[in-house]
Amino acid sequence: MTNPTVVTKRSRRLAPLDGLRLVAALTVVFYHYIGQGTRAWGGHTSYLFPNAHPIVSYGWTGVQLFFIISGFVICMSGWGRSLGDFVVSRVVRLYPAYIAGVLITAAVITALPLVTEVPKPGRILVNLTMLQEPLGVRHIDSVYWTLWAEIRFYLLFSLVVWRGLTYRRTVLFCVLGTVAAAVARGTDNPVVRMMVQPENLSFFIGGVTIYLMYRFRPTALLWAVLAGCYLLGHLRLSNKLADMTEATGAHGSPWVVGGLLLTFYLLILGVAFGGFAWANWGWLTTAGALTYPLYLLHEYIGWTLIKRFQQALPHEVLLLAVVTGMLVLSWLVHRFVERPLAPRLKRWLTVVLASLRREPGQAPALVPQAEPAPAPRIVRQRAPVERPTDPAPAERSST
């Protein structure tokens, strides 16, 4: 396997990719608000939104678009970094907005328990760790399940980051990961399924594969891996249709979900190959920054607002107002939580990481202090003393 020549000038932020993140977030938002048969409206959404419901009932696939984009971004952010720096970047990216989301959501559903029960303090505290699922504690908001999927992928990918990301190692990870995802589908071993997560791994690896095409160049092997990821993903979405039909009340088609997944991959490939370079608008970067807070905040808070005002406003007006309100709240979290706290958290974690890298017993480096100036010396005049002349060479001691 040859190592393709790296394509230069790849440091520029991909604004169209931020736009796709916003599309994925809004797809999930509208699915939860009108695609899912939620009782918050006081009636089934298929009757309240007869034209939109059949379309947005497929909005649950926006999560898979998130996973593909995440695989692309994780590989990009890990390239050239040590394992410690990679962990710091992920913690800084995930936790500030997440902690704010947990606290805000808990406050809203505690003050207005209209769509779910009031969470107990212990449940809130465990949720703040982002490890509630492996600890067997219910999510404060059901959308948090995707974060545990992200963390498990980070753990797998960190094995490659630990050795240092190279083209060959990353391709090997993609090949072995795709094979493992296929094989693990047939096992009931809970440890294997937890680590490999065959239901989601192919989407992440698909994103990593596209990043390799973006950073280097497409090869036959990378296209083969991407095709395998698509087939596994299509199989996963088709098998999930039965559960989604029960949740939405709409009969989904495996052809539709297969077409949607193919569209997701084609869009990200288009971004990677420069097909959307004309859409490098600055506002897309800002919009992309809102997607993570929007995803964390929208479901239970949105349902609560819909339940509270569904008899006071027309359904279309209420939907528009709630979506707008969630976007504003997401901007507030980004502006007043993520932007000020992320740099501080990064500095603190960097200091902690530096202390862990020091040798045991090695003191931290101190800033040298200036020595005090010596006291002035008093020079006394002495009478000149006649010094003896040096001896001739023959007279010098041999010692």
Nearest to 74 by CA among 247, 207, 255, 168: 207
In tens, the pLDDT along 185-224 reads: 888 888 888 899 999 999 999 999 999 999 999 999 999 9
Determine whether 78 is exposed, middle or buried from the number of CB atoms within 10 Å of its CB (0-12, 13-18, 19+): buried
Asked if 221 and 171 touch (Cβ cutoff 8 Å), the reply is: yes
Residues 86 and 29: their CA atoms lie apart, in Å, by 30
- Residue 387 clears pLDDT 80, i.e. is over it: no
* Half-sphere exposure (Cβ direction) of 180: Cα atoms closer than 13 Å: 16
CA distances from 87 to 91, 93, 297 (A): 6, 10, 24
Residue 1: per-residue pLDDT: 58
Phi/psi for 344 (5° steps) reads: -65, -45
- Using CA atoms, how far apart are residues 257 and 241, in angstroms rounded to an integer? 9
pLDDT at 5: 55
Q: Which strand (E) or helix (H) includes residue 268?
A: helix 254-272
- pLDDT of 122 over the 90 cut: yes
Interior angle at CA 208, CA 179 and CA 155, nearest 5? 75
Residue 7, pLDDT score = 53
Phi, psi of 367 (to 5 degrees): -75, 120
pTM, 2 dp: 0.86
Exposure of 127 in the CB half-sphere (CA atoms within 13 A): 24
Q: What mean pLDDT value characterizes the chain?
A: 87
pLDDT classification of 9: cutoffs 50, 70, 90:
very low
Q: Which residues lie below 8 Å from residue 326, measured CB to CB, with a gap of 6+?
A: 29, 294, 297, 298, 301, 302
Note the pLDDT tens digit of each residue in 322-342: 999 999 999 999 999 999 999
Sequence-separated (6 or more) residues with CB below 8 Å from residue 161: 78, 81, 82, 83, 86
